[in-house]
Structure 1
């Protein structure tokens, strides 16, 4: 690839990063408000749960068709459309909070957000895979993933501040504005990278079921199950059980952060750690010319983080555990999607990303259903000890699957490229 081609590819990657950051920022802005809908507009606790989970269940069914659509018509239109749909969904929050039927509008908005995010996730990584060479793909994938990851916690912080200082409506309007900006950036800068003309031979049920796609999908399942499904779902209850809170002083006013506030800060710390190591993980895999050793190292890091939580008796140790788990989760992200791109023909990358996203969302959706009852029955120490095993199992699946497919325990980037 010539220097001019590399510069052009880099500008597209940065545009994808900016778009996903701003739409993720918009999603983060509203997140501190949504769990409190019962108090804000009188919605029942059950309906709050439905609203919070509606986007993930929608995306579970939309991921595979989104990936197929990418291979059929290309990346540009679905990417721009997905960002625009997320912007419209965020604007729907403004309608919902001022409506006489807020439950209906919030559920509709979250369903739309699920459809939009399925399109964005399927296209963002496919665009990056299309325009990057094998020796820099890990870095590019890590940068894009970091853009998505950084946006959400940054938006959570700003959303909490804006809603407190101004109003919930102002926070929703701000979120919609950022999401709208994301679609404008994508429309102006991001070109078509995937197909020259629509491929009518691609069918909606033509998902990717190759060994690499299933192997990497199972690893993604384990990561989402342990990280979003276990850690994020149980952290506030764990802090409550351990009576851990964080006192901070803001503007000379002593503010006691209870379990909810402390868990939010810990999630942000974990997400920030993940974003940092997402970039470095992908870059390291490019530097050493192999993905599997880097992936195994970060899977062990995630395992260590959960192990730390089982012996944590102070907030500082909990912070260390959450940081390690975030680092492991993030460090796997770049090399894992890069490995999927290395082992997948370009014309099937959309379908492969759709399959990968389906596995991740299943893990994220099942995690809370299993972890919360388990925490009540067996305690948090045992739950986190079992969760520490999940990344190790994912590592075994990775090694067995890759060895079966390539004949090597650690294929080089050049050997993996198809």
Structure 2
């Protein structure tokens, strides 16, 4: 590639990333208006614990499971822009059907349909990010992309929570405005992808046989998928219980529920200032291990939560863990995936992890029903399922210590953390010194005015 071609590619990549950042912000704003309230919506429609488990699984997992066929299609067609456009557009159109829903079964079908259609955008987005970013700067790129997602969903969730809190009344009427706003922003996100001018071409040729061979012979990918099955199941066990705790134990209102999502999102935005740099300098593994092992704290605190204050604490922890592992895990997947098969590799990973999370969530709901059917009280049944999830999350998180990095990195995790801490302390000291200087100048100026006034 000559210098002119390299410069054109760099310019196209910079422009493409800017469009993807804007698209991510708008899509996340649209999703943030309704996504966090999907399990609550089902509960308000009268869903049972097992139905809540199914809804929670669909809400969290169905997009991942649907990514397998979409990822294969993206890699086969070698076009990403049409899938980004259609994913946002069809998701927006499907959610409009919720305006006519009155029963739990209809609700579940529409949610499943909307997320399956939206799933086509994910492998296309990840594939483009892999092409537009270099390995040494990929962590920062993904951190910025995730920050844009949080910055979009956070205000949307607050606005939607306030609307739901103020409107009240019949369930269908409560969600009318958020659903319409979700459609508008998702449609805008779809349209903005049309501005992407060009897509990097693949040098390799896609084939099902080559893809299957890569999956069999890629030790990094095989181990990561294996670990995701164990943790995915133990994570999913507690999902239906989270919704029941928020609605029936803590009895949080809609605005408080929106604030909980804001706490986790805002914390993630702050922490991601550093995780992208750490992932690029010290490697992906330390952050993945930290984020995945720490997930046991979430059901632990939910199990003892009785007020919104405990839920605020757990969502603060969620923000830290999300920022720690999400960026590093996405970068790791791109590192270990062949360029022409990134879409299918990421899709198969998400589907493997998602399918076991789905199974865990459904199992968690049925376990709760089973425990209560056996004569245990509500609190004892909840605590039993929570305890199983806590132990499973801790043990499966520690297994991530066995993954290996495909590349060597210039710094160590502890050294990079210390360096970041020292730089932040220096920045704070600089700000304090500047504030004191300005304050001294103001005092000196005020004293001069008083002195001139006394002379007169």
Q: Which residue of 2 aligns with 1:250?
A: none
Aligned match of 1:334 in 296, 310, 327? 327
Q: Which residue of 1 aligns with 2:336?
A: 343
Q: Name the CA distance, whole Å, in 1 between partners of 2:333 and 2:228.
A: 11
Corresponding pairs, count: 386
Question: What is the correspondence of 1:130-141 to structure 2 with a 5 Å cutoff?
Answer: 130-141=131-142
Task: Tell me which protein shows more helix as a share of its residues.
Answer: 2
Q: Name the CA distance, whole Å, in 1 between partners of 2:68 and 2:210.
A: 8
Answering whether residue 351 of structure 2 is matched by residue 358 of structure 1, we say: yes
Q: Name the CA distance, whole Å, in 1 between partners of 2:238 and 2:221.
A: 26
Q: Name the CA distance, whole Å, in 2 between partners of 1:231 and 1:219.
A: 18
> Structure 1 residues 34, 335: closer, same or farther in 2, change over 3 A?
closer
Per-residue displacement from partner, 1:161-184 (whole Å, max 9, x unpaired)? 445459643332211110110111
> Structure 1 residues 299, 202: closer, same or farther in 2, change over 3 A?
closer
Give the TM-score, by structure 2 length: 0.69
Q: Name the CA distance, whole Å, in 1 between partners of 2:82 and 2:409.
A: 30
Per-residue displacement from partner, 1:305-352 (whole Å, max 9, x unpaired)? 555556667754443233213321331011111111111211121111
Aligned match of 1:400 in 394, 399, 402? 402
More moved, 348-357 vs 157-166: 157-166
Question: What is the correspondence of 1:1-400 to structure 2 with a 5 Å cutoff?
Answer: 6=10, 8-31=12-35, 32=37, 35-36=40-41, 45=47, 58-59=62-63, 61-74=65-78, 75-94=80-99, 96=100, 109-162=110-163, 164=166, 168-189=175-196, 191-193=198-200, 195=202, 201-202=207-208, 206=212, 208-209=215-216, 210-221=218-229, 225=233, 229-230=236-237, 232-238=239-245, 244=250, 257-258=252-253, 262-278=256-272, 280-288=274-282, 290-307=283-300, 316-372=309-365, 377=371, 380=382, 383-400=385-402
Per-residue displacement from partner, 1:107-128 (whole Å, max 9, x unpaired)? 5643432223221221222211
Q: Name the CA distance, whole Å, in 1 between partners of 2:210 and 2:31.
A: 28
Aligned to 2:66, the other structure's residue is in SS state: helix
> Structure 1 residues 155, 283: closer, same or farther in 2, change over 3 A?
same
> Structure 1 residues 220, 193: closer, same or farther in 2, change over 3 A?
farther
> Structure 1 residues 38, 397: closer, same or farther in 2, change over 3 A?
closer
Unaligned runs of 5+ in 1: 246-256
Q: Name the CA distance, whole Å, in 2 between partners of 1:318 and 1:301.
A: 16
Q: Name the CA distance, whole Å, in 2 between partners of 1:77 and 1:104.
A: 31
> Structure 1 residues 337, 367: closer, same or farther in 2, change over 3 A?
same
Q: Name the CA distance, whole Å, in 1 between partners of 2:38 and 2:91.
A: 17
More moved, 299-308 vs 338-347: 299-308
Unaligned runs of 5+ in 2: 168-172, 372-379, 411-456
Maintained 8 Å contact 2:237/2:362: no
Across the aligned residues of Structure 1 and Structure 2, the Cα RMSD in angstroms comes to 4.1
Q: Which residue of 1 aligns with 2:408?
A: 412
Per-residue displacement from partner, 1:64-84 (whole Å, max 9, x unpaired)? 111111211122222222122
Give the TM-score, by structure 1 length: 0.75
Following superposition, the deviation at residue 264 of structure 1 comes to 4.9
Aligned to 1:114, the other structure's residue is in SS state: helix
Q: Name the CA distance, whole Å, in 2 between partners of 1:212 and 1:307.
A: 31
Q: Name the CA distance, whole Å, in 2 between partners of 1:148 and 1:204.
A: 34
Following superposition, the deviation at residue 293 of structure 1 comes to 1.8
Q: Name the CA distance, whole Å, in 1 between partners of 2:178 and 2:348.
A: 34
Maintained 8 Å contact 2:279/2:287: yes
> Structure 1 residues 278, 222: closer, same or farther in 2, change over 3 A?
farther
Per-residue displacement from partner, 1:80-137 (whole Å, max 9, x unpaired)? 221222122233334x35xxx8878755643432223221221222211121111111
Maintained 8 Å contact 2:19/2:193: yes
> Structure 1 residues 313, 177: closer, same or farther in 2, change over 3 A?
closer
Aligned to 1:192, the other structure's residue is in SS state: coil
Q: Name the CA distance, whole Å, in 2 between partners of 1:204 and 1:233.
A: 39
More moved, 103-112 vs 7-16: 103-112
Aligned to 2:337, the other structure's residue is in SS state: coil
Maintained 8 Å contact 1:300/1:392: yes
When Rg is computed on C-alpha atoms for both structures, the one with the higher figure is 2
Following superposition, the deviation at residue 61 of structure 1 comes to 4.6
Q: Which residue of 1 aligns with 2:422?
A: none
